[in-house]
Amino acid sequence: MGVFSLESVIEAFEASTKDAAQVQRETLRWILEENSEAEYLQSLGLAGRTDPESFKACVPLVTHKDLEPYVQRIADGDFSPVLTGSPITSLSLSSGTTQGRPKLVPFNEELVKSTMQIYRTSYAFRNKEFPTMNGKALQFIYGSKQFMTKGGLTATTATTNVYRSEQFKHTMKDIQSQCCSPDEVIFGSDFHQSLYCHLLCGLIFSEEVQLISSTFAHSLVHAFRTFEQVWEELCDDIREGVLSDRITMPAMRDAVSKILKPNPELADTIRDKCEGLSNWYGVIPVLWPNAKYVYGIMTGSMEPYLKKLRHYTGSLPLMSADYGSSEGWVGANINPSLAPESATFAVLPDIAYFEFIPLSENSEDQELEQSSSTSHNTELEPVGLTEVEVGKEYEILFTNVAGLYRYRLGDVVKVAGFHNSTPELRFVRRRSLLLTINIDKNTEKDLQLAVEEATKLLAAEKLEVVDFSSHVDVSTDPGHYVIFWELSGNAREDVLSNCCDCLDRAFIDAGYVSSRKVRSIGPLELRIVKRGTFQKILDHFLSLGAAVSQFKTPRCVGQSNSKVLQILDDNVMDNYFSSAYD
């Protein structure tokens, strides 16, 4: 894509955000006209009206649970206009890490178009500060398994639906450095073999790589933790020009073997660089000296991985990718120089119709999965895209051309500011309460902050938390919080006991503190699990058809995630109870 084309993308974005309110009205009109024949909309009495006022008066707020019967009909082969005017030809799967099972979401080519629009927009702004033309990209991206529904529709993850589309392949050739790895690696059915080959291909083209990316920060950290274990084998492959026997998939083996030639000089260079590193600090810029930045989703549940990622990246900039979900996209990162913890996302007013539910103390007490009949509670009256206020928190409502209408994404965002008349959002958390027993309310962010505080006690031991999760144990009376830690090494009992007390004290929610003091919530329990436990959780989700590029470690494991809870419990080595409130 030439300079003029990049400028034209920015100009189009600027034009659409100048009068975002009018663009939103036109976008809603387009969605409703495209889907005017949909049974769902006709049943609500819209009668062909496309204005926001009629739309809001007739169409209820919904969650996935409300739309699930309609989506299931489509999956089972109902090709009548159920949710959309044109038939849905494929379905996307959510990661399933939150609820324990993936959700089926309608997918169509319009969603691919909006994905390409987001990619082009953020790339145009990114390329102004970090030009990466005519190079290669080391991308840790992975397709996932596909399956056919009862009605003959293909179901796979949203990322795989996009990766397989011709639109994606055409657009990415224009806007991004060429991926080091062939398609046979990206779409290989064995994640571990694909990861090894991604690393190998990245090393072969190490001088040409200009950016390193993955969908999530977790995948990047996992890739370089793996590199620590296999780097010598990778060097051997490059030295001899023969691919490791660990790669057994014929198509992948053939594709990688075509680009693998004997190169003893490169192998020696890699070995010297790796042996010269101190605890792998800065390994990425050392091995890929021409990389400009590292890119991926780094907000929300990905923030705990940033410390380790920065260890690998040294001084190389980290850049948070755009904001979206399995259901569709919300906004682009047009401020690429911001640190991931401060990343904001400008809403594109022409990719969907957006509404925002203002959050207050009272509205927080309402369940996410409330029925649509109670969703018009005046306390939850949504506001439009341009009516949000800076500094306030909202839950996002989403209407798109793929059959989701006034759909509650479950995400809480804070308005950081405006770009022209469209808001710039900062992701805060998932709406559903993470840890709660009675009057306590601790979110994923609260858990993350508590873990960060407690891990400071591990620094003197030169240990780190590899990954973590939590669970509310109500099998005891009173119930109590359980925190699972996987550590990078062995810690002394007194250190872990202090960590447990610190975790308990670090939950500063007033309901939690008062409940602990009167013993209506029991002492927090810290359970240390064996090395590799969280890898087993990842493997479990991969076995269900999830893609590693969509994987998010479940931060709170409920009974709906019984298999994950079983994996955690089966791998507990030690446990400690807090004495913080004794």
Contact 358, 397 (CB under 8 A): no
Residue 429: the pLDDT is 82
Tell me what the mean pLDDT of segment 554-576 comes to: 88
Residue 39: the pLDDT is 92
| Proportion of the chain above pLDDT 90, given as a percent | 59
Q: Is 476 exposed, middle or buried (0-12, 13-18, 19+ CB in 10 A)?
A: exposed
Q: Is 460 exposed, middle or buried (0-12, 13-18, 19+ CB in 10 A)?
A: exposed
- Map residue 189 onto helix, strand or coil: coil
pLDDT at 374 over 50: no
Q: How long, in residues, is the chain?
A: 582
Q: How confident is residue 174, by pLDDT bands cut at 50, 70 and 90?
A: low
Residue 169: the pLDDT is 61
Sheet holding 136-140, edge to edge: 178-179, 136-140, 209-216, 293-297, 318-320
H/E element holding 138? strand 136-140
Question: In 3D, which of 126, 541, 111 has the Cα closest to residue 324?
Answer: 111
For residue 126 the two structure tokens come to 């990114």
Q: How confident is residue 147, by pLDDT bands cut at 50, 70 and 90?
A: confident
Q: How confident is residue 524, by pLDDT bands cut at 50, 70 and 90?
A: very high
pLDDT at 228 over 90: yes
Residue 368: the pLDDT is 39
Average pLDDT, the chain: 87
- Which of the 8 DSSP states describes residue 5? H
H/E element holding 11? helix 3-18
Least confident stretch, 179-193, 235-249, 288-302, 431-445:
431-445
Residue 250: the pLDDT is 95
pLDDT at 363 over 60: no
Could you give phi then psi for residue 473, rounded to 5 degrees?
Answer: -95, 105
Residue 437: the pLDDT is 87
Could you give phi then psi for residue 544, rounded to 5 degrees?
Answer: -85, 0
Does 336 or 95 have the greater pLDDT score? Answer: 336
**Residue pointed to by tokens 């660990």:** 246
pLDDT at 364 over 70: no
Which residues fall within 8 angstroms of residue 280, CB to CB, at 6 or more apart?
A: 224, 228, 311, 312
pLDDT at 162 over 70: no
Does 257 or 459 have the greater pLDDT score? Answer: 257
Cα–Cα dist 241/247, whole Å: 14
Cα–Cα dist 133/305, whole Å: 29
Least confident stretch, 13-27, 36-50, 197-211, 431-445:
431-445
Q: How confident is residue 481, by pLDDT bands cut at 50, 70 and 90?
A: very high
Please report how the helices 109-129 and 3-18 are oriented relative to each other, as an axis angle in degrees rounded to 10: 110
Helices (H), 76-215: 109-129, 158-163, 166-175, 183-186, 191-204
For residue 573 the two structure tokens come to 């080595």
Q: How confident is residue 474, by pLDDT bands cut at 50, 70 and 90?
A: confident
Residue 175: the pLDDT is 53
Which one-letter amino acid corresponds to residue 315? S
Q: Is 431 exposed, middle or buried (0-12, 13-18, 19+ CB in 10 A)?
A: buried
Residue 383: the pLDDT is 96
Residue 105: the pLDDT is 83
Residue 302: the pLDDT is 87
Residue 441: the pLDDT is 85
Residue 361: the pLDDT is 54
pLDDT at 144 over 70: no
Residue 387: the pLDDT is 96
Least confident stretch, 297-306, 319-328, 539-548:
539-548
Q: How confident is residue 553, by pLDDT bands cut at 50, 70 and 90?
A: confident
Question: In 3D, which of 149, 163, 279 has the Cα closest to residue 214?
Answer: 163
pLDDT at 350 over 80: yes
Question: In 3D, which of 227, 157, 167 has the Cα closest to residue 197?
Answer: 227
Tell me what the mean pLDDT of segment 421-431 comes to: 90
pLDDT in tens, 103-139: 788 888 888 888 888 988 998 999 888 888 778 999 9
